[in-house]
Amino acid sequence: MKVLALATLVCFAVTAFGAVLPIDSSEASGGSQELGKVEQILDSMDTIYRVALIFGNNLMNSMVMLTPFLGPLYGSFVLFSTGRIIAALASTRGADPFTLLILTFIFPHAWIEYVSYGIALSESIWFAIMILKRRVREELTNVFKAISAVALLLLAAAVIETYLISLLS
């Protein structure tokens, strides 16, 4: 449990780092435009397709994060990029990026997603260690448990996020 908490905290820290770094106007504009395109796509979809899109995107990223050796690098990139999107949004709206990041976590789906990423990254590191120790077979059960937990959590998060999007629209 401590490893999961630490991994989740690291995920948040990487995103926060991406959010608070200075951003130039062209990067901010590009990031905001990309986010706007995603919002338009989501707005045009039926509820079930929104859930599927959000779930599929987050699950795909998490499965790569679960990959031994590569997972932490990929996860850091994705989480840092999330921070850059927050920085872009804050910049174009005249808000403080760290405040915007913190406000994101008033929504339960954000917590659920970050716990899922913490599970994926911690299992990726643990699985890599077991590979190096030549104990892969012993760890496979935990890998499959992690995949199942991540998938179920991300599905719940996608349902909650979709519900909140429809509520706030």
103-148 pLDDT, tens per residue? 999 999 999 999 999 999 999 999 999 999 999 999 999 999 999 9
| pLDDT for residue 131 | 97
165 pLDDT above the threshold of 90: no
pTM (2 d.p.):
0.92
* 111: enclosing H helix or E strand: helix 108-132
| pLDDT for residue 38 | 87
Residue 83's nearest CA partner among 59, 64, 110 is 110
| pLDDT for residue 168 | 82
Say if residue 38 is exposed, middle or buried (CB neighbours under 10 Å; 0-12, 13-18, 19+): middle
In this structure, which amino acid lies at residue 59?
L
169 pLDDT above the threshold of 80: no
State the average pLDDT for the chain: 94
List phi, psi (to 5°) of 128.
Answer: -60, -40
| pLDDT for residue 18 | 97
| pLDDT for residue 47 | 92
Buried b (16+ CB within 10 A) or exposed e, 124-160: bbbbbebeeeeeeeebeeebeebbeebbebbbbbbbb
pLDDT band at residue 42 under the 50/70/90 scheme: confident
Q: Which two tokens stand for residue 13?
A: 């820290």
Q: Please give the average per-residue pLDDT across 92-104, as a whole number.
A: 95
The greatest distance separating any two alpha carbons of the chain, rounded to the nearest whole angstrom, comes to 52
CA geometry: angle at 145 spanning 104 and 60, to 5°? 50
Residue 107: DSSP 8-state: S
Other C-beta atoms closer than 10 Å to the C-beta of 65 total 28
Query: Could you report the per-residue pLDDT of 5-32, keeping only the tens digit for each?
Result: 999 999 999 999 999 999 999 998 988 8
| pLDDT for residue 35 | 84
For residues 112 and 156, give the distance between their C-alpha atoms in angstroms, rounded to a whole number: 8
48 pLDDT above the threshold of 90: yes
The residues near 71 (Cβ < 8 Å, ≥ 6 apart) are 64, 65, 120, 121, 124, 125, 128
